[in-house]
Amino acid sequence: MKGMVLADGAARGQALVLDEPLSFWGGVDPASGAIIDVRHPQLGISLKGRVLVMSSVRGSSSSSSVLAETVRAGCAPAAILLGEPDLILAVGAAVAEELYGIRVPVLQLQLADLGAIPGGAAVSIGEGGEVTLG
């Protein structure tokens, strides 16, 4: 499948499919990469090294800085796959690349493609937005 590139890069990781949207601001501990939003059904799960899959973002403009901080701390997701475009996370990925030289691809996929990614699946993202399972 092919995604629309919001922040380019290559990555590989295990899919973490979120049941509900997540805001990085107040929802993710930037020092550990864990979900800390007490209302989120996946509270406590770490994003570190995972391919984060979520239909949409519950957002704050500060989510970009939290994403960049997780990159600095070595706790960022390997990639982020979204059902709706989110330029705030794309900005955070771009800033992290500029500051730390680490790329976190952010892609938008069609909802049918996003829904075809099972939790725990091995996911590879290639430059230009190519997404493969397995």
The pLDDT profile of the chain, 134 residues, written as one tens digit per residue, is 999 999 999 999 999 999 999 999 999 999 999 999 999 999 999 999 999 999 999 877 899 999 999 999 999 999 999 999 999 999 999 999 999 999 999 999 999 999 999 999 999 999 999 999 98
Q: Would you state the pLDDT for residue 22?
A: 95
Q: Where are the beta strands (DSSP E) in 20-117?
A: 51-54, 79-82, 106-108
Establish whether 60 is a catalytic residue: yes
Please state, in angstroms and as integers, the Cα–Cα distance from residue 64 to each residue in 35, 105, 107, 109, 130, following that order: 16, 13, 15, 20, 23
Q: Would you state the pLDDT for residue 61?
A: 84
Please state, in angstroms and rounded to a whole number, the distance separating the CA atoms of residues 124 and 131: 6
Q: Would you state the pLDDT for residue 60?
A: 77
> Which one from 55, 60, 62, 124 is the annotated catalytic residue?
60
HSE-CB at 110 with a 13 A cutoff on CA atoms is 6
Q: Would you state the pLDDT for residue 59?
A: 75
